[in-house]
Structure 1
Amino acid sequence: MARQANAETISEVVRSKLRADIFAGQWAPGTNLQVGELTKRYAASSTVVREALVRLAGEKLLQFRPNRGFFVSEYTLEELRGLSELRCRVEEYGLTLAIEQGDVTWESDLLAVHHRLERTPRRTSEDPNHISVDWFLAHQAFHAKLLEACPVPLLQDFAATLGEATALYRLWTAPDKRAQSRDIEAEHRAILDATVARDAPTATKLLREHYMRTIDVIEEAEFHAASEAGLPKE
């Protein structure tokens, strides 16, 4: 039993490191992750690495292609818009339930999580073109807390999965001028204010606009990248 528990711990450590590296932008969407290279990178056996890859594929961060291996999840703009639309509908319902049933403790926790997000620099002077890890984690925590009072845990899990499916694209398009000039802090503050005011129609409307604006930035960044490469817009 002790040996099994130790193996599970090692597997979880490797999964966590691999997951963190994916979100840190170590590999672009579509990159093929080689098991041999990962065993060296994480000083783990190929069995442990494969287990981690399978679990991350289940979380939609990776895609498994038969006879080809595991790839960092890659989506077309049409697929991204479809995922975002699904995320909007899921979270609009979840946030409505949370606003209806959330108590004062949830409301206080939400204010605290937002305070942390607002006080965490989105970019640092050392790397002004990319989102900081601390801000990324605080951002995830804020959106998760919005839905925490929803009495349907499965909905919360599904929303988190949908959010992470598009997270890589948000990180990779961070250097785009539209992403840098966007007042995302004001967007979060407006969503918070409507939620605390228990105004579900306004809160869900602002949440949808927040997500779809992100997709617009991704599309604009993809368009510029294609233009610079001499490729047609998708």
Structure 2
Amino acid sequence: MSRATERDSVGDQVYRAIRQDIIFGKLTPGQRLRLEALRKRYDASVTTLREILSRLTSEGFVTAEGQRGFEVTNVSPTDLNEIAELRILLESHALAKSFEAGDLDWEVRVVAAHHKLQALEKRMAAGDESVREEWKRSDSEFHHRLIEGCGSRQLLQSHNTIFDKYLRYQMQTLTFRGEIAASEHRALLEAALARDARTAVTILKTHISNGVKHAETAGFAV
């Protein structure tokens, strides 16, 4: 491996680590991202960190504060609603395309993802907060499996960014809607297996809208 390739590999690993820490709340909204502290925490050079923070700024997870440096992008009800609207737009389109083009292997992956999610939802419903992060990762995986048959790399990349921004709000509020959300996921699975895109889109809109209302009711730090 060349030095350039090795540096890129390390940079990608640190980029993913910082991005995940922002999404899952280990780096909190509005937190100053001081380069020296980040260097120690992620074992990366200042040059690499500057490149990563600039990349995360372009994605909307980090805000550049001129001469003051960088901070984690803050949260607000307005921003949450805009992100939810974009998620509905992108995911609805991707669902329709995926349901049309998905093959048997796609169906198997969707069923497997739902099986794991359902098991974790049961544990969350029983009060097991130790699986909170794993539950949200499984929730993310299920929604991604539903649309991955769409065949559009650009659509999947755009959706991934918006979904992760939405997920960050959910992690701010410890959002778990219990049996209501679980039943919506089951209905999405049934619609996928029936290739009923119209029903799936209707369920998805309700699912996301209810999630936004729940997050706003729970409240989050602004």
TM-score range, shorter chain: 0.7 to 0.9
Q: Provide structure 2 residue ranges, at least 5 long, that are not aligned to the other structure.
A: none
| Deviation for aligned residue 1:155 | 1.2
The one-letter code of the counterpart of 1:153 is: R
1:66 aligns with 2:66: yes
Q: Please give the TM-score of this superposition, normalised by the length of structure 2.
A: 0.88
What residue in structure 1 maps to residue 87 of structure 2?
87
What residue in structure 1 maps to residue 193 of structure 2?
196
Against the structure 1 CA distance between its residues 70 and 167, is the aligned structure 2 distance closer, same or farther, given a 3 Å change threshold?
farther
Higher relative contact order (CA closer than 8 Å, sequence separation 6+): 2
1:221 aligns with 2:218: yes
| Deviation for aligned residue 1:202 | 0.9
**Over the residues paired in the alignment, what is the CA RMSD in angstroms?**
2.5
Against the structure 1 CA distance between its residues 180 and 189, is the aligned structure 2 distance closer, same or farther, given a 3 Å change threshold?
closer
**Count of residues in Structure 1 that have an aligned counterpart in Structure 2:** 221
More deviation, 65-74/159-168: 65-74
What residue in structure 1 maps to residue 104 of structure 2?
104
Counterpart Cα distance in 2 of 1:97 and 1:24: 30
Counterparts of 1:116-155 in structure 2 under 5 Å?
116-120=116-120, 123=124, 128=129, 132-155=132-155
Check the 8 A contact 1:97/1:150 in 2, yes or no.
yes
Check the 8 A contact 2:30/2:74 in 1, yes or no.
yes
| Deviation for aligned residue 1:181 | 4.5
| Deviation for aligned residue 1:203 | 0.5
Check the 8 A contact 2:98/2:151 in 1, yes or no.
yes
Check the 8 A contact 2:23/2:165 in 1, yes or no.
no
Check the 8 A contact 1:61/1:164 in 2, yes or no.
no
Percent of residue pairs identical = 33
Q: Secondary structure at the match of 1:67?
A: helix
Counterpart Cα distance in 1 of 2:41 and 2:148: 36
Check the 8 A contact 1:60/1:161 in 2, yes or no.
no
Counterpart Cα distance in 2 of 1:59 and 1:131: 28
Check the 8 A contact 1:73/1:165 in 2, yes or no.
no
